[in-house]
Amino acid sequence: MANDLSITVNGRLHPVDASPDTPLLYVLSNELSLHGPRFGCGLAQCGSCSVLLDGVEVRSCQTPVAAVAGKAVTTLEGLAAWYAQQNGLAAAPALHPLQQAFIDEQAPQCGYCTNGMIVKGSELLARNPRPSEAQIRAAMDGHMCRCGTYPRVMKAIQVASRAIAGATP
């Protein structure tokens, strides 16, 4: 049943049918057909469901949809446009530089954790475009990869960092 709740996701306002305490992840998947965020643990432990909320990574499996009303949710699908907006670019690239780096470096294996890795990595690069290896490790600490792709994730973030440095003033 429809209620008065609306949320802004990837720059567009969407009415929400679900009850206010429904996890944001379910609304993104079931109502908006945004399948970048994945259900992993459901306990805010693994990071596969991560999205940006006003530019800060949150776990959408443990975030009630009512809690994001009036804020800007960015999912994997909206990262390139978010990046363009953050950097004052006239047009959004096809992919966020970190998405491109994940492809170029073949960072994913099964890909289940990839959403969270890219969302968190993008948050890091937005506030610290040239992170050290230690800073990348610290930022990514709460993101689990059962395939053990951590070295390739590290490399992809470093590659994206260099790409961003070359692409932005």
Closer to ligand FES at the Cβ: 66 or 84? 66
Find the shortest distance in angstroms from Cβ 53 to ligand FES: 13
Residue 23 DSSP label: B
Task: Tell me phi and psi for residue 93, to 5 degrees.
Answer: -70, 165
Q: Residue 8, Cβ neighbours under 10 Å: how many?
A: 15
Closer to ligand FES at the Cβ: 32 or 84? 32
Are 92 and 25 within 8 A, CB to CB? no
Residues that bind ligand FES (CB under 6 A): 39-42, 44-49, 59, 61, 108-113, 145-147, 149
Find the shortest distance in angstroms from Cβ 101 to ligand FES: 15
Closer to ligand FES at the Cβ: 92 or 155? 155
Dist. CA 70–CA 145, nearest whole Å: 32
Find the shortest distance in angstroms from Cβ 93 to ligand FES: 24
Dist. CA 161–CA 125, nearest whole Å: 7
52 beta partners:
57, 74
Closer to ligand FES at the Cβ: 111 or 129? 111
138 beta partners:
none
Find the shortest distance in angstroms from Cβ 167 to ligand FES: 26
